Structure 1
Amino acid sequence: MPTSQEPIEAVSQRLDKFLSEQLSYASSLGPEAEMLTRSGASALRGGKRLRARFCLTGFAAVGVAGDVPDEAPLAVATSLEIFHAAALVHDDLVDNSDTRRGQPAAHRALQQGHRDAAWTGDSDAFGRSGAILLGDLLVAWSDDLLEEGLALSPASAAATRRAYAQMRRDVTIGQFLDVAEESAYTAYPDDSHAERALRVASYKSARYSIQQPLLIGASLAGADEAQHDALSRFGHDVGMAFQLRDDVLGVFGDTAVTGKPVGDDLREGKRTVLVAYAREALPESERLRVDALLGDPGLDADQIADLQRVIVDTGALDRLERLISGYAHTADGALEGAPLRDDAVSELRALAHAATQRTS
């Protein structure tokens, strides 16, 4: 089992081994198959490996139930990073994003690959189609590596599969709720928008980013009901704080740190809790002006700065920061007296701080 100092390195090494196997296989199918596989490897480059770290810590918090080899939790944790890459590829396509982690988004890179090869046809359509298929391939890879891990731990395989399947369902529904909210918000009263945005945050991110990776790791280790409950409560509230921090960074984040253009969520028209809080505090005429700006991909720097001022001046940012702190506090309380290993509880608290106080 990797120690808390080395999970990122261990996951990266396991990922490199898996990708080497996939590239070897693709090379036998020709340069086009190799192109898609290399795009998958590129999509897995970088990142904080947060989901893998929570999975491994969930496993450690419960302790090994029986003779589970070190390779089992590592393979399962690494499979979550591959699934995350799939979600990002599709998310960038849905949002029409140009960049990811400071590099071209997958569909943009595939478009450029089409142009560089001087192939016929529409390069933009090729990039979009390729990204859909790339996301599907990454999901398949994630399943493959998950099953490798579960083959090493058959006693807990069924519970781990159930937790993994729940994650896949929830995040897919959550992504659609996020897309739908950008249009559906007009059908609901303004004072319900924050609660609806919290629902999106829960299903799109909180469960998938923190709670379910923890429970997948704990299930692999044979968690009992009390351990499952404590980790579930802790994970959901940390996950909510994590997503709400992401919403702040989507409006105010530094491009040099986040790798995304400043104010990107405003150009995409994301109906976040931050936006809902700001709209609640505005008179109707000003609310309509904000609505007219949100979702305009051509917003310039002055318009972004104007929307940022509105969010600050209405008190929406301060209100959201208090909500983030509240979630972090209740999450920490879920660990008090929980039947979990002390060293893992310390690691969970450190990970929660990193997830909620981050700048990227």
Structure 2
Amino acid sequence: MVHPSRPSAPPWPDAPVRADSRLADTRRAIDTHLAEFLNAKARSSTHPPLPDEVSEILEQFLFHGGKRLRPLLCVHGWHAARGEGEPSEVIRVAAALEMFHAFCLIHDDIMDSSDLRRGHPTLHRALAARHTEGRTPADARRVGTSLAILVGDLAMVWSDELLRSADLPPAQLAGLLPLVNTMRCEVMYGQYLDVTATGRPTPDLGHAMEIVRYKTAKYTVERPLHIGATLAGATPQLLHELTSYALPLGEAFQLRDDLLGTFDVPAATGKGHTDDLRDGKHTVLLATAFQHADPAQHASLHALLSAPRRTRDETDQLRRLLTATGARDRVESKIKTYRAQALHALERISLPSAAGAALRDMVDAATLRTR
């Protein structure tokens, strides 16, 4: 069922990443561990046994693309703290981060009513399609959503199992768990902020940036780096220095994602390109547009975002407004600023040369990507 030897895509297709063979080997090691774990679950004789569908559909979700950004940054953190080689326990912790990310994405897609993820149907849509027999379309959607919530919950449980079965010495595990718990709470907080602000975009740029910081920057970059570095015995000073690199990089990553999600096409991004506009997400892009809109543009933004069903022409009009207000250019400028901050912070950290090069590559990958 699971295919641990399947080839892995590069972290970001078309990104100018100088990835060496070690990066590809690391990704394969993480994927292999995930595949072996799911195979073991599929073969398990525990009672009650899991339906075959559960392991199968979670495997499909995990291996239908994905950047593996968080586990790779975990390994980069290990090397940044002068950890040697890539021990199996580090790979297992990295795999646990990817399993936790699967949980986050599955639930996020449900909350956003998204149809696509990585160019494929989201998990709740895929499960709805599997359970149509004898059901109305509405009932099938309800069942698909309910099952996806459960599969997402299971991914969270399994992420904890992966972490606790990594054969870490008790002292090392005790030092790691507070960081993992903090990461989990931070991303839940960021998601909570996101959900409560959805449908009510305002000029409040500070609130939009708070969502970015907790939902993306800390969860995606800072904490994975901290977790890997902590495994290698990093000092508090090094963790602080990594934060100065991680937060601007994570913020640039999210702002690039906002631009791609608004102005690109689903074939490039692998997900619906109007989801944020459809839902009225309180993004930095929209907050910036409201800040700089003249009265007529402000009224048009409100009218278009309030429309219960927006036509394609209206969506195109909204994009033109985001450009005309200068929001698109201003967000591009912010990305450049955060990119420069991340690179400057990196120059001030004493790192092994390979770790420094890998983290510089991550800056290019996160800020210059096209999908």
Regarding TM over 0.5, the answer is yes
Letter in 1 for 2:224: P
Structure-2 residue corresponding to 1:7: 26
How much does 1:95 deviate? Answer: 0.4
Q: Which residue of 2 aligns with 1:160?
A: 176
Question: What is the CA deviation profile of residues 167-202 of structure 1, one whole-angstrom value per residue up to 9, with x for unaligned ones?
Answer: 10000010010011125556xxx3xx1111000000
CA separation of 1:185/1:99 partners in 2, compared to 1, >3 Å: closer, same or farther?
closer
- 1:359 CA displacement: 1.7
What 5-or-longer segments of structure 1 have no aligned partner?
Answer: none
Work out which of the residue numbers 118, 122, 132 in structure 2 matches 1:105: 122
The answer to whether the aligner puts 1:37 opposite 2:48 as a matched pair is no
Q: TM-score, normalising length from structure 1?
A: 0.91
Q: Which residue of structure 2 aligns with residue 269 of structure 1? A: 280
C-alpha distance 163-36 of structure 1, shift in aligned 2 (>3 A): same
Unaligned runs of 5+ in 2: 1-20
Question: Does the C-alpha gap of structure 1 residues 202 and 155 become closer, same or farther in structure 2, counting only changes over 3 Å?
Answer: same
Please tell me whether the aligned partners of residues 57 and 348 of structure 1 are also in contact (alpha carbons under 8 angstroms).
Answer: yes
Q: Structure 2 matches for 1:236-315, cutoff 5 A? A: 236-294=247-305, 296=307, 298-315=309-326
Q: Which residue of 2 aligns with 1:323?
A: 334
Contact 2:199 2:281 (8 Å CA) reproduced: no
**After alignment, is 7-16 or 194-203 more displaced?**
7-16
Counterpart Cα distance in 1 of 2:56 and 2:135: 18
Distance 1:296 1:166, change over 3 A: farther
How much does 1:119 deviate? 6.0
1:1-360 equivalences in 2 (<5 Å): 3-25=22-44, 29=48, 33-45=51-63, 46-64=65-83, 70-115=87-132, 117-118=133-134, 122-149=139-166, 151-183=167-199, 185=201, 190=203, 193-294=204-305, 296=307, 298-360=309-371
- The total of aligned residue pairs comes to 349
> Which structure's residues are more often helix, by fraction?
1
Over 3 Å counting, the alpha-carbon distance change for 1:35 and 1:314 in structure 2 is: same
Report if the CA contact (8 A) 2:199-2:282 is conserved.
Answer: no
**Whole-angstrom distance in 1 between the partners of 2:356 and 2:27:** 19
Question: Is the CA contact 1:156–1:221 (under 8 Å) kept in the aligned structure 2?
Answer: no
**Contact 2:38 2:59 (8 Å CA) reproduced:** yes
Shift of 1:323: 0.7
User: Are 2:78 and 2:229, in contact at CA under 8 Å, matched by a contact in 1?
Assistant: yes
Preserved CA contact (<8 Å) 2:201 2:286: no
**Amino acid across the alignment from 1:44:** L
**Cα shift readout 1:189-242 (whole Å, capped 9, x = no counterpart):** x3xx11110000001111111111111111111100221111111111110110
| Secondary structure in structure 2 of the residue aligned to 1:340 | coil
Q: Higher mean Cα deviation, 312-321 or 19-28?
A: 19-28
The CA distance in 2 between the partners of 1:176 and 1:108, in whole Å, is 23
1:222–1:295 Cα change, 3 Å? farther
**One-letter amino acid of the structure 1 residue matched with residue 88 of structure 2:** E
Conserved? CA contact 2:200–2:281, under 8 Å: no
Tell me the SS of whatever aligns to 1:44: helix
Contact 2:284 2:331 in 1 (8 A): yes
Per-residue CA deviations over 1:21-79 (Å, capped at 9, x if unaligned) read 1111279756x7222222222221221111111110001110238xx971111000011
Q: TM-score if structure 2 supplies the norm length?
A: 0.88
**How far is the alpha carbon of 1:160 from its aligned partner?**
1.4
**Aligned mates of 1:203, 1:129 — CA distance in 2:** 27
In 2, the alpha carbon distance for the partners of 1:248 and 1:289 equals 20
**Quick one: distance in 2 between partners of 1:299 and 1:184?**
16
Q: Could you tell me the percent identity over the aligned residues?
A: 38
1:235-254 per-residue CA deviation (whole Å, 9 max, x = no partner) reads 11110110111111110122
RMSD: 2.1
Aligned 8 A contact 2:277 2:305 in 1: yes
CA shift in 2, pair 1:264/1:312, >3 Å: same
Structure 1 residue 357 displacement after superposition: 1.3
Q: CA deviation at 1:298?
A: 3.2
